């Protein structure tokens, strides 16, 4: 099998492919036009986040049998076109679920305990103990929207803090387990002290968190977004922070992560976020650990091998 790797990957992938006897070409420097030009010669495509794999990419690739996405989200692939053309799509949701769960906890604890704020102050010679009195995570009610790989791994870790975890997943039934109770969205909006998002970006989830959603929460809450930036309308999030309905926010993702291309409105929102002591920001690194970098490859290879056996 001949595979094009068109994005940066951990070197462990090469050893795994060679062990299977599969031929590959590694071109992380390829741009969209290069992928479109070269892909017709390959049966497989590995990507991370470089380009949207749509009809323009898939149409000329007559030999293409599968696309492997080194990550959890599939919003970079036109799944309907892939299905029409009989192209199998793989993703490594379980490959970075532990990294995402740990990152979520790190951000949340950093916010609740004022760790990020206090660190900045101490570095500037400010020793303010009372102003940095923290809030405990213990026994808080956490609402998870989306209960797949990342949601489940997050709930498991929250259980160690004695949290009550409510999970809502529109596309699953009977998914409650030892770590989370199945709940409707209304229950979460009524009871949650903390809301954490674990959904892909789709037409249904785009701007799920808007002004109306925030206002419908029964009490002030903390917002966590480690999913996709456009799941939360950041203008609405800022308004929620200003009104006090959102106590604090941890954002690993933004609507526009190319910071040099922000619109005037996006820049104003971004300026508020970076100047707020009630916001913790990281650059989309929730699933970005040294361990997950390797594990993602292992998950993808296992899925491809299982598929080939069944094909």
Bridge partners of 175?
Answer: none
44-47 β-sheet, strand order: 23-26, 2-5, 44-47, 66-69, 88-91
CB pairs under 8 A, 24+ apart, for 176-182? Answer: 177/152, 179/152, 179/155, 180/144, 180/147, 180/151, 180/152, 180/155
| Angle at alpha carbon of residue 145, lines to 142 and 149, rounded to 5° | 100
Check 136, 186, 204, 257 and give the catalytic one. 257
DSSP 152-218: HHHHHHHGGGT-EEEEE-TT-SS---SS-EE--HHHHHHH-SEEEE-----TTTTT-B-HHHHHTSS
Check 198, 228, 255, 295 and give the catalytic one. 228
The answer to whether 306 is a known catalytic residue is no
Check 48, 284, 298, 302 and give the catalytic one. 284
Radius of gyration of the chain (CA): 21
The answer to whether 123 is a known catalytic residue is no
The answer to whether 284 is a known catalytic residue is yes
- The set of catalytic residues is 228, 257, 284
């Amino acid at each position: 099998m001949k595979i094009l790797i068109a994005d940066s990957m951990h070197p462990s992938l090469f050893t795994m492919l060679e062990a299977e006897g599969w031929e590959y070409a590694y071109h992380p420097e390829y741009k969209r036009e290069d992928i479109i030009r070269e892909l017709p010669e390959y049966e497989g495509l590995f990507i991370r986040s470089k380009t949207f794999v749509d009809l323009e990419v898939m149409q000329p690739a007559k030999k293409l049998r599968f696309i492997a996405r080194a990550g959890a989200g599939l919003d970079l692939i036109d799944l309907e076109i892939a299905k029409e053309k009989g192209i199998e799509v793989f993703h490594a949701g379980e490959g970075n679920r532990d990294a995402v769960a740990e990152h979520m906890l790190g951000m949340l604890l950093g916010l609740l305990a004022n760790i990020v704020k206090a660190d900045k102050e101490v570095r500037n010679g400010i020793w303010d103990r009372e102003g940095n009195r923290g809030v405990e995570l213990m026994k808080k009610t956490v609402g998870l929207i989306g209960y797949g790989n990342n949601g489940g791994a997050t709930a498991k870790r929250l259980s160690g803090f004695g949290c009550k975890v409510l999970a809502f997943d529109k596309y699953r039934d009977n998914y409650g387990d030892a770590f989370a109770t199945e709940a409707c969205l209304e229950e979460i909006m009524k009871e949650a002290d903390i809301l954490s998002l674990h959904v892909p970006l789709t037409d249904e989830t785009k701007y799920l968190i808007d002004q109306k959603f925030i206002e419908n929460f029964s009490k002030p809450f903390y917002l966590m977004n480690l999913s996709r930036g456009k799941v939360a309308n950041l203008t609405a999030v800022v308004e929620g922070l200003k009104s006090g309905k959102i106590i604090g926010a941890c954002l690993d993702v933004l609507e526009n992560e190319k910071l040099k291309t922000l619109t005037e409105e996006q820049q104003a929102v971004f300026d508020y976020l970076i100047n707020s002591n009630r916001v913790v920001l990281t650059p989309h690194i929730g699933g970005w650990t040294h361990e997950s970098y390797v594990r993602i490859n292992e998950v993808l290879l296992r899925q491809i091998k299982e598929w080939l056996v069944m094909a």
